[in-house]
Structure 1
Protein backbone atom coordinates (compact mmCIF):
# COMPACT_ATOMS: atom_id res chain seq x y z
CA UNK A 1 0.00 0.00 0.00
CA UNK A 2 1.40 3.39 -0.97
CA UNK A 3 2.01 6.15 1.52
CA UNK A 4 -0.90 8.15 0.08
CA UNK A 5 -3.23 5.15 0.41
CA UNK A 6 -2.15 4.67 4.03
CA UNK A 7 -2.80 8.38 4.65
CA UNK A 8 -6.27 8.17 3.09
CA UNK A 9 -7.09 5.11 5.19
CA UNK A 10 -5.87 6.84 8.37
CA UNK A 11 -8.04 9.88 7.55
CA UNK A 12 -11.09 7.60 7.37
CA UNK A 13 -10.13 5.64 10.49
CA UNK A 14 -9.71 8.76 12.61
CA UNK A 15 -13.39 9.55 12.06
CA UNK A 16 -14.33 6.12 13.45
CA UNK A 17 -12.57 6.22 16.81
CA UNK A 18 -14.64 5.03 19.78
CA UNK A 19 -14.06 8.31 21.64
CA UNK A 20 -12.94 11.82 20.85
CA UNK A 21 -9.16 12.25 21.23
CA UNK A 22 -7.78 14.89 23.61
CA UNK A 23 -7.41 18.47 22.40
CA UNK A 24 -3.63 18.02 22.18
CA UNK A 25 -4.07 14.91 20.04
CA UNK A 26 -6.56 16.73 17.82
CA UNK A 27 -4.09 19.59 17.31
CA UNK A 28 -1.35 17.15 16.30
CA UNK A 29 -3.71 15.46 13.84
CA UNK A 30 -4.85 18.79 12.41
CA UNK A 31 -1.34 20.19 12.06
CA UNK A 32 0.04 17.11 10.33
CA UNK A 33 -3.01 16.82 8.05
CA UNK A 34 -2.75 20.47 6.96
CA UNK A 35 1.02 20.22 6.47
CA UNK A 36 0.55 17.10 4.36
CA UNK A 37 -2.28 18.47 2.24
CA UNK A 38 -1.60 22.22 2.03
CA UNK A 39 2.07 22.70 2.94
CA UNK A 40 3.56 25.42 5.13
CA UNK A 41 1.23 27.80 6.93
CA UNK A 42 1.44 31.48 6.01
CA UNK A 43 1.85 33.56 9.20
CA UNK A 44 -0.01 36.42 7.49
CA UNK A 45 -3.18 34.30 7.58
CA UNK A 46 -3.20 33.75 11.36
CA UNK A 47 -6.73 34.09 12.82
CA UNK A 48 -7.61 37.12 14.91
CA UNK A 49 -7.27 37.56 18.67
CA UNK A 50 -10.81 36.47 19.49
CA UNK A 51 -10.64 33.19 17.56
CA UNK A 52 -8.88 31.15 20.24
CA UNK A 53 -9.62 27.77 18.69
CA UNK A 54 -8.56 28.95 15.24
CA UNK A 55 -5.33 30.41 16.61
CA UNK A 56 -4.48 27.19 18.46
CA UNK A 57 -5.03 25.15 15.32
CA UNK A 58 -3.07 27.59 13.17
CA UNK A 59 -0.17 27.76 15.64
CA UNK A 60 0.03 23.95 15.77
CA UNK A 61 0.18 23.91 11.97
CA UNK A 62 2.73 26.74 11.86
CA UNK A 63 4.96 24.75 14.23
CA UNK A 64 5.26 22.10 11.47
CA UNK A 65 6.64 24.66 8.99
CA UNK A 66 9.40 23.12 6.89
CA UNK A 67 8.20 19.55 7.43
CA UNK A 68 8.07 17.66 4.16
CA UNK A 69 4.79 16.27 2.86
CA UNK A 70 5.99 12.69 3.32
CA UNK A 71 7.15 13.34 6.88
CA UNK A 72 3.83 14.98 7.75
CA UNK A 73 1.94 12.03 6.25
CA UNK A 74 4.06 9.57 8.23
CA UNK A 75 3.51 11.53 11.45
CA UNK A 76 -0.25 11.66 10.81
CA UNK A 77 -0.44 7.91 10.16
CA UNK A 78 1.62 7.16 13.27
CA UNK A 79 -0.63 9.36 15.43
CA UNK A 80 -3.79 7.74 14.09
CA UNK A 81 -2.35 4.27 14.71
CA UNK A 82 -1.46 5.19 18.29
CA UNK A 83 -4.97 6.55 18.85
CA UNK A 84 -6.51 3.39 17.44
CA UNK A 85 -4.33 1.35 19.79
CA UNK A 86 -5.35 3.40 22.85
CA UNK A 87 -8.98 4.29 22.01
CA UNK A 88 -10.02 1.70 19.44
CA UNK A 89 -12.33 1.86 16.46
CA UNK A 90 -16.13 1.67 16.48
Structure 2
Protein backbone atom coordinates (compact mmCIF):
# COMPACT_ATOMS: atom_id res chain seq x y z
CA UNK A 1 0.00 0.00 0.00
CA UNK A 2 1.40 3.42 -0.95
CA UNK A 3 1.72 6.33 1.46
CA UNK A 4 -1.21 8.05 -0.27
CA UNK A 5 -3.40 4.96 0.10
CA UNK A 6 -2.47 4.64 3.79
CA UNK A 7 -3.20 8.35 4.26
CA UNK A 8 -6.64 8.03 2.64
CA UNK A 9 -7.39 4.95 4.77
CA UNK A 10 -6.39 6.85 7.91
CA UNK A 11 -8.62 9.78 6.94
CA UNK A 12 -11.54 7.34 6.60
CA UNK A 13 -10.68 5.64 9.91
CA UNK A 14 -10.96 8.98 11.74
CA UNK A 15 -14.51 9.41 10.45
CA UNK A 16 -15.45 6.05 11.96
CA UNK A 17 -14.22 6.65 15.52
CA UNK A 18 -16.99 5.78 17.97
CA UNK A 19 -15.90 8.41 20.52
CA UNK A 20 -15.02 12.04 19.90
CA UNK A 21 -11.32 12.88 20.37
CA UNK A 22 -10.39 15.81 22.59
CA UNK A 23 -10.19 19.30 21.10
CA UNK A 24 -6.40 19.16 21.20
CA UNK A 25 -6.38 15.80 19.38
CA UNK A 26 -8.74 17.21 16.76
CA UNK A 27 -6.51 20.24 16.29
CA UNK A 28 -3.47 17.97 15.81
CA UNK A 29 -5.37 15.91 13.24
CA UNK A 30 -6.41 19.09 11.43
CA UNK A 31 -2.87 20.47 11.38
CA UNK A 32 -1.31 17.25 10.10
CA UNK A 33 -4.03 16.81 7.47
CA UNK A 34 -3.64 20.36 6.18
CA UNK A 35 0.16 20.08 6.13
CA UNK A 36 -0.11 16.78 4.26
CA UNK A 37 -2.55 18.05 1.65
CA UNK A 38 -1.64 21.75 1.25
CA UNK A 39 1.77 22.25 2.83
CA UNK A 40 2.76 25.26 4.90
CA UNK A 41 -0.04 27.50 6.13
CA UNK A 42 -1.12 29.79 3.30
CA UNK A 43 -3.55 32.14 5.01
CA UNK A 44 -3.23 35.05 7.39
CA UNK A 45 -3.63 34.51 11.11
CA UNK A 46 -7.28 34.96 12.14
CA UNK A 47 -8.21 37.83 14.41
CA UNK A 48 -8.43 37.67 18.16
CA UNK A 49 -12.21 37.24 18.09
CA UNK A 50 -12.00 34.05 16.00
CA UNK A 51 -10.67 31.76 18.74
CA UNK A 52 -11.42 28.51 16.91
CA UNK A 53 -9.89 29.71 13.64
CA UNK A 54 -6.88 31.06 15.50
CA UNK A 55 -6.28 27.74 17.31
CA UNK A 56 -6.52 25.82 14.03
CA UNK A 57 -4.14 28.25 12.33
CA UNK A 58 -1.61 28.06 15.18
CA UNK A 59 -1.60 24.23 15.20
CA UNK A 60 -1.19 24.14 11.42
CA UNK A 61 1.54 26.79 11.50
CA UNK A 62 3.42 24.68 14.07
CA UNK A 63 3.97 22.13 11.28
CA UNK A 64 5.67 24.70 9.03
CA UNK A 65 8.57 23.21 7.08
CA UNK A 66 7.36 19.61 7.42
CA UNK A 67 7.19 17.88 4.04
CA UNK A 68 3.86 16.60 2.79
CA UNK A 69 5.08 12.99 2.98
CA UNK A 70 6.38 13.45 6.53
CA UNK A 71 3.03 14.98 7.50
CA UNK A 72 1.20 12.03 5.93
CA UNK A 73 3.36 9.58 7.90
CA UNK A 74 2.75 11.54 11.12
CA UNK A 75 -0.99 11.69 10.40
CA UNK A 76 -1.17 7.94 9.83
CA UNK A 77 0.71 7.24 13.08
CA UNK A 78 -1.47 9.68 15.01
CA UNK A 79 -4.69 8.16 13.64
CA UNK A 80 -3.45 4.68 14.59
CA UNK A 81 -2.96 5.91 18.18
CA UNK A 82 -6.42 7.45 18.27
CA UNK A 83 -8.06 4.34 16.82
CA UNK A 84 -6.37 2.26 19.52
CA UNK A 85 -7.32 4.77 22.24
CA UNK A 86 -10.96 5.14 21.21
CA UNK A 87 -11.78 1.61 20.12
CA UNK A 88 -14.77 0.01 21.80
TM-score range normalised by the length of the shorter chain:
over 0.9
The residue correspondences of 1:1-90 to structure 2 (distance < 5 A) are 1-42=1-42, 45-88=44-87
C-alpha distance in structure 1 between counterparts of 2:83 and 2:45, whole Å: 31
TM-score, normalised with respect to structure 1: 0.93
RMSD: 1.1
Q: Deviation string for 1:33-73 (max 9, x for gaps)?
A: 0000011013x511111100000000000000000011100
C-alpha distance in structure 1 between counterparts of 2:83 and 2:10, whole Å: 10
Q: How far apart are 1:88 and its partner, in Å? A: 1.5
C-alpha distance in structure 1 between counterparts of 2:8 and 2:16, whole Å: 13
What is the number of residues matched between the two proteins?
A: 88
C-alpha distance in structure 2 between counterparts of 1:81 and 1:13, whole Å: 9
